[in-house]
Amino acid sequence: DTGVSQNPRHKITKRGQNVTFRCDPISEHNRLYWYRQTLGQGPEFLTYFQNEAQLEKSRLLSDRFSAERPKGSFSTLEIQRTEQGDSAMYLCASSPLGGISYYGYTFGSGTRLTVV
Amino acid sequence: DQQVKQNSPSLSVQEGRISILNCDYTNSMFDYFLWYKKYPAEGPTFLISISSIKDKNEDGRFTVFLNKSAKHLSLHIVPSQPGDSAVYFCAAQLANAGGTSYGKLTFGQGTILTVHP
């Protein structure tokens, strides 16, 4: 297992198009998180899964955003009708149950979205 | 509402000297604090954490200090090396009412550390 994998690494899309990102967490990790990072800011929490259940969504996640984690394995984040304000780095992270405090998450390298 | 703040956007130090990165927070319900390092084009990497019931945690060249009364924590890197040049993020975890947490983190804005040879 080589860590958290995110695809694609870069995505350029026209305003109004839909995009989907994929995250493959570390296989034994139950928890999966999505964050968004814009220039000059730290990562901002978007949503969290424990196994296949989506347990919390940030108010940052508008109706145009949807995330899934079928069968508690990989996750997808879809943005519909993209806007220029959606341009950001989208980070996925995973952790085992109870491991966050001592060892933190393991982040993927992110997907950089540019909406033109 | 920025609950975790890193007020210094950048810090420059000489190789071999101490780097001190600072972080302030406002929510007294945070139960763990973590530091992450981020290189360009990579995701953040976990460095070190500290529980809110402790005031110091050390791991090799990295030490984190927590001052709960001041709601302030700092990361000390001694000695600093050029490979430490990166963006450093402070993050905090909020305990829920049951005393456990699912791991949602609130991050500061980051400090760019540059270590000169």
**Distance of CA B89 to CAs A41, A42, A113, Å?**
10, 7, 22
Please check the confidence at residue A68 and state whether its pLDDT lies above 60. Answer: yes
Residue to mutate among B24, B107, B112, with most A CBs inside 10 A, is: B107
Inter-chain contact A109–B110, Cβ cutoff 8 Å? Answer: no
Please check the confidence at residue B109 and state whether its pLDDT lies above 80. Answer: yes
Chain B residues touching A4 at Cβ < 8 A: 43
Query: Quick one: A53 exposed, middle or buried, by C-beta within 10 A (0-12, 13-18, 19+)?
Result: exposed
Give the pLDDT confidence score for residue B31 in this predicted structure: 86
Chain B residues touching A59 at Cβ < 8 A: none
Q: Partners of A49 in the beta sheet? A: A32, A54
Give the pLDDT confidence score for residue B101 in this predicted structure: 60
Q: Does A2 touch chain B (CB under 8 A)?
A: no
CA dist A36 and B67 (Å) reads 29
The torsion defined by the Cα of A76, A82, A84 and A90, in degrees rounded to 10, comes to: 0
Give the pLDDT confidence score for residue B102 in this predicted structure: 65
Give the pLDDT confidence score for residue B100 in this predicted structure: 56
Q: Does A25 touch chain B (CB under 8 A)?
A: no
The whole-number average pLDDT for the span B102-109 is 87
Please check the confidence at residue B68 and state whether its pLDDT lies above 90. Answer: yes
Q: Does A4 touch chain B (CB under 8 A)?
A: yes
Per residue in B69-100, pLDDT (tens digit) is 999 999 999 999 999 999 999 999 887 655 55
Q: Does B39 touch chain A (CB under 8 A)?
A: no
CA angle B100, B109, A113 (to 5 degrees): 95
Give the pLDDT confidence score for residue A2 in this predicted structure: 72
Chain A residues touching B9 at Cβ < 8 A: 40
Per residue in A74-114, pLDDT (tens digit) is 999 999 999 999 999 999 999 887 656 667 789 999 999 99
Q: Partners of A44 in the beta sheet? A: A36
Per residue in B12-47, pLDDT (tens digit) is 999 999 999 999 999 998 989 999 999 988 999 999
Inter-chain contact B104–A56, Cβ cutoff 8 Å? Answer: yes
Inter-chain contact B103–A31, Cβ cutoff 8 Å? Answer: yes
Give the pLDDT confidence score for residue B99 in this predicted structure: 52
Please check the confidence at residue A58 and state whether its pLDDT lies above 60. Answer: yes
CA dist A60 and B11 (Å) reads 31
- From B9-13, B91-95, B112-116, the region with the lowest mean pLDDT: B91-95
Q: Does A43 touch chain B (CB under 8 A)?
A: yes
With residue A102 as reference, give the H or E element that holds it: helix A100-103
Per residue in A4-54, pLDDT (tens digit) is 999 999 999 999 999 999 999 998 888 999 999 999 899 999 999 989 999
Q: Which of B89, B88, B82 is nearest to B114 (CA)?
A: B82
Q: Does B45 touch chain A (CB under 8 A)?
A: yes
Residue B49 DSSP label = E
Count of pairs with CB atoms under 8 A, one residue in A, one in B? 69
Give the pLDDT confidence score for residue B97 in this predicted structure: 55
Chain B residues touching A44 at Cβ < 8 A: 107
Give the pLDDT confidence score for residue B98 in this predicted structure: 56
Q: Does A106 touch chain B (CB under 8 A)?
A: yes
